[in-house]
Amino acid sequence: MDCLENSERFFINGQWVSPSAQDQKDIINPATEKPCGRIALAHAQDVNRAIEAAHAAFEAWSTTTRAERLEVLGRIPSLYQRRAEEMSRAISLEMGAPITLARESQTPAGLAHIEETLDALRHYKFEECEDDILIAHEPIGVAGLITPWNWPMNQIACKVMPALAAGCTVVLKPSEIAPLSAIIFTEILHEAGLPAGVYNMVQGDGPVAGEALASHPLVNVVSFTGSTQAGIAVAQAAAPTVKRVLQELGGKSANIIFPDTDFADAVERGAQDCFGNSGQSCDAPTRMLVPHELMEKAMDIAAKVANGLRVGDPADSMTELGPVVSASQFKRIQALIEEGTAQGAILAAGGVGRPEGLAQGYYVRPTVFGHVTSDMVIAQEEIFGPVLCIMGYADEDDAIRLANGTPYGLAAYVQSGSEERARRVARKLRAGTVTLNGAAWTVKAPFGGYGLSGNGRECSRFGIAEFLETKAIIGYGADSKKQ
């Protein structure tokens, strides 16, 4: 791929630069288990160099007008669209997304965030007057952004764009597991003509590059998406410098299906949504809650969905489910499937091992467990693979209790033929996003979680707000100009 020419370099202060050391890492294609490229791994001095460039560029970029930022950032969508096919192929290669999913969801998600952020920037109120107080919302400073591998463009775009729109300068550390798409994105931003130092990108792992970014005193805000365990490490590294830390972490999202809806359709959709992206979505509806008396019916419907999925080569346009991203993820998922069986969950589809006919690649059998109880490991831990847990409930209150019965609170789903009931239940769920009756995903809604799912919100104007500080100027005068 064309982007491989920059895979062993970092983007710092407007230029592609060589690393300070020769540490490298192979990029593994999860469909073949073989290298498909290589990246350089940043040391602390590389990260420091990028941060210093961002710090030096902050004063000028933070004082640009809305119109000036819109002019520069407004060049990005057309450049992104021009390289959409290349982006899709990179995502499919690096993290195993079926090429159709990459083209129809993964790559377009990034564009959706780019365009929504630009629209939010056009209308954002950076200054307001209350009596004689001017309330000014000013860029916080240098933003350190650490992004995951599962939805690379979704997460890169929904962090980078709001930070730049707010007037912050950026150092991005994408996942070292799936770095190709980030290189293409960086080339796009370079072509858009951002001033030197406004956007910087270094490749590297969490313990070295991530820790250096989170702990640096010149970084004013860290936005991290990944596992809860890694998020805790980022927060601990950031704590001595008292910087703002935004975290979008794990999830164990409940999907409550009430019997007054089209039950078969709701179960089928819920299973498909759980298995999408090979189950590697933090907001996937991995816990399906159904009435006890409909458990067997739900298991049968979900099993048919699992058994009917086309699992195979991501490059094949007919493939619906690709591999999971890595050997470590594969092993962890296999262990949790074994744990579910050992603890008494009833296997309705799938199980341990690769799907039939797939001897290599990190492929997982789409798996359905029924009669799962809240004390089981698979009901509490984020599996991050194509594994659906079906749990039974006695009544509405019991369903709400079960839904809230994990330390996570990223997303939840409610299916009911009664709009009043759906709304009532949604208000009682401890989750950052609750989707009713299959409503479409939108980048206009704030995204983030409760509890161990993190803090802060991403997307649209809510994402911009996280990169701003609020200043009150008392006695400014009631006739001050609003932006």
Query: 341-383: per-residue pLDDT in tens?
Result: 999 999 999 999 999 999 999 999 999 999 999 999 999 999 9
CATH number for the domain that contains residue 171:
3.40.605.10
What are 204-216's pLDDT values in tens digits? 999 999 999 999 9
Q: Give the mean pLDDT of 438-450.
A: 97
Asked, for residue 303, whether it belongs to a domain, the answer is yes
**pLDDT score at 3:** 59
What are 379-411's pLDDT values in tens digits? 999 999 999 999 999 999 999 999 999 999 999
258 and 244 in a single domain? The answer is: no
Residue 76, pLDDT > 70, answer: yes
- Please answer whether residues 77 and 115 qualify as being in contact, where contact means their C-beta atoms are separated by less than 8 angstroms: yes
- Please answer whether residues 346 and 370 qualify as being in contact, where contact means their C-beta atoms are separated by less than 8 angstroms: yes
CATH number for the domain that contains residue 408:
3.40.309.10
334 and 463 in a single domain? The answer is: no
267 and 389 in a single domain? The answer is: yes
425 and 462 in a single domain? The answer is: no
Which range marks the domain in which residue 244 is found?
A: 2-249+453-474
426 and 458 in a single domain? The answer is: no
76 and 162 in a single domain? The answer is: yes
Residue 240, pLDDT > 60, answer: yes
Q: Decide: helix, strand or coil at residue 40.
A: strand
Q: Where are the beta strands (DSSP E) in 258-398?
A: 287-291, 346-349, 367-370, 387-393
Q: What is the pTM of this model?
A: 0.96
Residues designated catalytic? 248, 282
Asked, for residue 482, whether it belongs to a domain, the answer is no
The model's confidence at residue 1, banded by pLDDT at 50, 70 and 90, is: low
Number of structural domains (the chain) is 2
Q: Which residues of 436-448 are buried (b: 16+ CB within 10 A; e: fewer)?
A: beeeeeebeebbb
**pLDDT score at 278:** 98
Residue 90, pLDDT > 60, answer: yes
**pLDDT score at 482:** 47
With pLDDT > 70 as the criterion, what percentage of the chain qualifies?
A: 98
Asked, for residue 448, whether it belongs to a domain, the answer is no
431 and 288 in a single domain? The answer is: yes
274 and 400 in a single domain? The answer is: yes
Asked, for residue 443, whether it belongs to a domain, the answer is no
243 and 259 in a single domain? The answer is: no
The model's confidence at residue 37, banded by pLDDT at 50, 70 and 90, is: very high
299 and 230 in a single domain? The answer is: no
261 and 243 in a single domain? The answer is: no
233 and 343 in a single domain? The answer is: no
- Please answer whether residues 317 and 100 qualify as being in contact, where contact means their C-beta atoms are separated by less than 8 angstroms: yes
